[in-house]
Amino acid sequence: MAFTVKNNIRWVGKQDWELREFHGSEYSTHRGSSYNSYLVKEEKIALIDTVWAPYAEEFVANLAKEVDLGSIDYIIANHGEIDHSGALPALMARIPDTPIYCTANGAKSLRGHYHQDWNFKIVKTGDSLDLGNGKQLVFVEMPMLHWPDSMATYMTGDAVLFSNDAFGQHYASAQMFNDLCDPVELHEECIKYYANILTPFSSLVTQKIHEVLALNLPIDMIATSHGIIWRDKPTQIVEQYLKWADNYQENQITLVYDTMWNGTRMMAEAIAEGIRKADKDVVIKLFNLSNSDKNDVLTHVFKSRAILVGSPTVNNVMLPHVAALLEEMTGLRFKNKAAAAFGTHGWSGGAVDRITKRLGDAGFRVLGPGITAEWRPTDNALADGVRFGEAFIEQLGSTGQDKADTAACSCSGKMRCQTCSWIYDPEQGDAAQGVAAGTTWQDVPETFLCPVCFMGKGDFVPA
């Protein structure tokens, strides 16, 4: 289904209508996905990315119908992950000496995946490649959006930004341009993609977008690696990313829980009733984790200003679905959100205390010790749940700052990167980034990046 994107740019990727799970089984793709590869045919011919490995032979065969493979001058690898690079072994078997332009981390990633020492050409931000006809490809490193090797490629003349994973979505569509797609579906897939994949890197998203905007490059089109291409007001998705990256929340409270004999479900509904009594305008969502898609739930957590997490106690601990979601939330590092725990127990408790601790570890502002009820909740216990919901709204309205953020801002000691555990030592500073020895954490510039994994200051906590 190759088609013209703009002028001499052709889409030569693959629509995967049947895909329902991605990143192993970590991400649900209810509407499939696409692997977008672009063929640029100017005086020089460049191929930007390939497709996922299962479609490698199909990709190479279709590409050969578009162009003599031997005439491809350059291969651009914006990202080494297998859904982008999976067809490279099949393609390089045909054209083994063709240069592959990528970041230094990109070459490391590709060597790690395929154990081949292809003709890698290492590029950095600002490097360019002449295509002839007055057009160039300009490279922009985008580390940790969402891998260390990531980069974007900008094509002058046509003003097209090949944005890699940024601004994309897992969404198969025969209408490959944003102005032809259902806007509701498109928004749902965009925010789900951001919430589940890019949230931990929000500080870097903001920094990199401002860096690109400062170049004052015209952008007529954003050609993503997954999903649709933005040609109608393409910067609308850039503006949306800036909003999502800025501690995003809507007027929503989400309750997530698992239950055995419906006691915890009854508590969830009672708490929701109390929330509704106290705030008629707030959007309330309830999800039973045993029959809800976790990525959809995490999207609602991302949208919420507060969440409540519930589980019955089994063997003194919470149910596995709840524990797994808390682990996911810890990795996503949501900001600017409050939380509390609830649940039921029989002869012994433990789950609510554990949930409360895990919510704090995940960076939520925890509002109290939570609420628990014995066995199947009585009418009195459910009434307590209603009052708990009302009190939760009252507490939520009070001012308060994320304790982790407060500690991070005021700490004068060592700081640890939550992603890779690298330690910033004020006594040593970081000369490579112009941070002198003796610089306390609060005086480190906001542009500081972890030298190992490239995460920003917002990823650091006291060591």
Of the residues 27, 141, 146, 279, only one is catalytic, namely 146
Alpha-carbon span 318 to 388, nearest angstrom: 20
Structure tokens at 392: 């939760």
Distance of CA 436 to the CA centre of its chain: 33
Q: Which of 38, 149, 170, 226 is catalytic?
A: 226
Which of 27, 38, 49, 79 does the annotation list as catalytic? 79
- Mark whether 258 is an active-site residue: no
Peptide bond into 146 cis (omega under 30): yes
* Options 42, 49, 141, 165, the catalytic residue: 165
Write out the two tokens for 235: 């910067």
CA distance 293 to 20: 12
CA dihedral angle for residue 198, residue 204, residue 209, residue 211, rounded to 10 degrees: -160
CA distance 15 to 33: 6
Q: Which two tokens mark 228?
A: 């649709």
**What single-letter DSSP state applies at residue 331?**
H
Active site residue 210: no
Cβ neighbours for 380, distance < 8 A, ≥ 6 positions apart: none
226 is catalytic: yes
- Establish whether 97 is a catalytic residue: no
**Residue 43 annotated among the catalytic residues of the structure:** no
CA distance 301 to 285: 10
**Residue 352 corresponds to which amino acid?**
V
Which of the following is catalytic: 38, 55, 101, 193? Answer: 193
Q: Kind of pairing, strands 338-345 and 371-374?
A: parallel
Question: Which amino acid would we find at residue 340?
Answer: A
The one catalytic residue among 16, 42, 49, 83: 83
Q: Are strands 38-41 and 3-6 parallel, antiparallel or unpaired?
A: unpaired
Which tokens hold the place of 195? 């919430």
Cis peptide leading into 79, omega within 30 of 0?
no
The residue from 16, 42, 49, 81 that is catalytic is: 81
Per-position b or e across 395-434, b if 16+ CB within 10 A of its CB? ebeeeeebebbeebeebeeebbbbbeebebebeebbeeee
Residue 187 among the catalytic residues: no
CA distances from 182 to 14, 35, 173, 187, 381 (A): 20, 20, 10, 9, 45
In whole angstroms, what is the distance from residue 220 CA to residue 235 CA? Answer: 9
> Which residues form the catalytic set?
23, 79, 81, 83, 146, 165, 193, 226
